[in-house]
Amino acid sequence: MKAKISVHRDFTIGKVDKNIFGGFVEHLGRCVYNGLYEPDHPAADTDGFREDVMALIRELDMPVTRYPGGNFVSGYDWKDGIGPREKRPVRADFTWKAVEPNIIGLDEFIRWCRKVDSDILYAVNISTNTPKAAGELVEYANLSGGTYWSEMRKKNGSAEPHNIKLWCLGNEVDGDWQVGHMTAEEYGRTAHETAKIMKLADDSIKLCACGSSVFSLSTFGTWDIEVMRHLFSDVEYLSIHMYFSNRDKDLPKYLSVPEQLDRRIESAVAICDAVAAEKKSTKKIMIALDEWNVWYRGQISCAPEDIWQYGRAQNEEIYDMSDVLVVGGALLSMLDHADRLKIACLAQSVNVISPIMTIPGGGCWKQTIFYPFRETSRYGRGMVLRPVIDSPAYKVKGFCTEDITFLRSTIVWRQEENELTVFAINRADEMMDFTAHLEKFECLELIAASEIHHVSVEAVNSPENEAVHPADIPEARCSLTADTLTAQLKPLSWNMFRIKVKP
């Protein structure tokens, strides 16, 4: 099979925002307790955070982390998590049928974020709390002093403001599974008043409005239109979520996830622009994909004897080689929408549907999806070039009428490094002769060529065996001549090429 991509130096989509490589920490399962926080662990620092976990988070280079949820936030009172720990209440978390001990709250999580070089995308409880509580949270986090809550922050040990600039106005409020579910009208009015008081507290912050959660909801799309009509002048982002699954064991359809995500992002952009046209405004609302990942194996429910605990295993998905192709492809879809997609948060960062798994009292290990995320985060920041792809294609039933090309490829021009990064995914079950035409670039050297491949798409990693990981592509299978890269891509493989170009 032969396939090619062509790009031109002057034809670009947009510059990648670093925040599309974000993470997500929710008070759920073993994400916080017995995950990033395990004070009795041999690798715990003085704050109780595992150094080995933080090292892997830094390896992924996640510039922003969404916190504290997720569904958890809709029943959460941020005030429970501040002040002396011995005085903090232990609460029932009705969403996940767990107990929240409030050992980790805003101040502690800020310290963790600073250790891993990440900012916070903070989700406020808009469902069961008040606009006033959200305003007080901004006061506590961002005001320098002289007010009740800013002075309380100082008393709690943080003399300088936390300076949180990104905020979510609730979480999945359109879903009836959500504690405090609302109609679009109810949410729009409540979110407007919440946004008002938050920006009165700090007019430098940026806000995300809740968009439609999932395609299957009857309100999908119409929710977003109604909400944006209420919040167009208040927010900078529309938040969307998307999880991917292969429950029906249809691999070709599963591998079309990047095209499904294309449509999801483009539909959100279209709605935002339609409301802008209604309002005769030139303002562009950007998109925040602040929850995304593969999720269909992790078990939500638990045995009756396991409820009302904290730090127990929940939603712990084990990823395989097919998930590498899907997660890697989803990241390419995000790059291809760099002009409007400005935030994305992989859900989640530790243990819960996560690239990083921990063993209580033991080590931590990298799941298969760790690697496409790490490599794209490292080498996918720059200017995305507009591609023309010529590839054999296949049909997917029940999704769309368009063909799905066996090649999914994106090229990023990393101007500061004078490098091109070529990402290429072979979705065919045969070898692919791949060509990348790089017009108006004077290519100097093929710096690196790597692939992620396994003979079985069901291959997984474990603490004992890292079966799926990047490997160098031998010179016999790739070459660079003038402005053309050629390579032989293994069946069902993820690939990356780094090329030095003349400044």
Give me the active site residues, please: 172, 291
Q: How far is CA 141 from CA 32, 149, 183, 200, 355, in A?
A: 21, 8, 30, 14, 30
How far is residue 338's CA from residue 343's CA, in Å, rounded to a whole number?
10
Report the distance separating Cα 500 and Cα 444, nearest Å: 5
How buried is residue 124: exposed, middle or buried, by Cβ count under 10 Å (0-12/13-18/19+)? buried
The residue type found at 468 is V
Q: Give the Cα separation of 343 and 83 in Å (integer).
A: 31
- Bridge partners of residue 65, in order along the sequence: 23, 120
What is the helix (H) or strand (E) element at residue 439, kind and residue range?
strand 432-439
Beta bridge partners of 5: 389, 436
CA–CA gap between residue 444 and residue 37 (Å, rounded)? 46
Beta-bridged to residue 497, according to DSSP, are 422, 449
> How is residue 153 annotated by DSSP?
H
- The Cα angle at residue 443 between residues 442 and 448, in degrees rounded to 5: 160
77: Cβ contacts below 8 Å, ≥ 6 apart: 91, 125, 129, 133
Whole-number Å distance between alpha carbons of 20 and 377 = 9
How far is residue 82's CA from residue 394's CA, in Å, rounded to a whole number?
Answer: 54
2-8: strand order across its sheet: 388-390, 2-8, 432-439, 484-489, 478-481
Closest among 411, 395, 392 to 403, alpha carbons compared: 395
How far is it, in rounded angstroms, from Cα 236 to Cα 254? 32
User: What's the CA gap between 241 and 265, in Å, rounded?
Assistant: 10
Cβ atoms 66, 168 nearer than 8 A: yes
Query: Any bridge partners for residue 408, and if so which?
Result: 425
Helix/strand/coil for 91: strand
> DSSP characters for 324-369?
HHHHHHHHHHHHTTTTTEEEEEES-SSSTT-SEEE-TTS-EEE-TT
